[in-house]
Amino acid sequence: MLKIKNLLVKVGEKVILNGIDLTVKSGEVVAVMGPNGSGKSTLAYAIAGHPKYQTSNKKEKNNWIIKIDGERIDDISPDLRAKEGLFLANQYPVAIFGLTVNSFLWQMYKKNRIAASKTPRNDAMSLVEFRKYVEELTNSLNLNLDLLKRSLNDGFSGGEKKKLEILQLLVFCPKYVILDEIDSGLDVDALKVIAQTVAKVAKEKKMGVLVITHYNRILKYLKADRVIVLEKGKIVKSGTGKLAEEIEVSGYKNND
């Protein structure tokens, strides 16, 4: 279980989130919705450990927690949180010139799948086997295989960047994934591929999913077990997947 309790997040002196309690169970899909400026992306970055977002001071330390399967991660760096099984799919993936997608994914596999699980060498994929595996995943996402030879996200379209985030997710195979507005800027076909892929892997791998979105459209393919609504840094409402449908029709103000 991914557990957040009494989370307070500041940027400078400004409080963005105040007293957030949230859980995501293995295999569960939880949607976070809310108007612009409500703190949705701040929640994602705070859980992942972005240094810009201050989550505590010494006096507050015992009053809030972020845990993965009972282990606290709120006092460790983002890379260590990833090793504990947390993955953040970014809304705006960055480009890294000179680092090819193939190389990046291979290093991710070696460090986070082999090393973390201590898989014996004779059970791990060879580089050749891994490349074939990645090509199969890439095809399943309707991505051009030529992108694997290019620098990470360099010159990629918005849809290609978002699909590459999902390709990384498939290779990394985390315990819990946060999708930060992964649906923004996507056409209908790309949205469907991404949402159905995440839904499938979440079910097969018992992966917990926290999907942050403005719209119900992604939830038509990635069914939410629960929907929570953020407003002004606080959870103001929660419900089933039907809540997202109601919001789509009548907006947030009519769902107070």
Domains of the chain as residue ranges with CATH: 2-255 (3.40.50.300)
> Average pLDDT, whole number, for the chain?
91
Q: In angstroms, rounded to a whole number, what is the distance separating the alpha carbons of residues 181 and 202? A: 17
Q: Give, in order, the Cα–Cα distances in Å from 196 to each of 163, 192, 222, 223.
A: 12, 6, 6, 9
pLDDT at 111: 83
pLDDT at 57: 47
pTM above 0.75, yes or no: yes
Q: Is the pLDDT of residue 121 over 60?
A: no
Average pLDDT over residues 245-252: 89
Average pLDDT over residues 110-119: 63
The string of pLDDT tens digits covering residues 6-56 is 999 999 889 999 999 999 999 999 999 999 999 999 999 999 999 999 886
Quickly count: other Cβ atoms within 10 Å of residue 5's Cβ: 15
- What is the distance, to the nearest Å, from the Cα of residue 197 to the centroid of all Cα atoms in its chain? 13
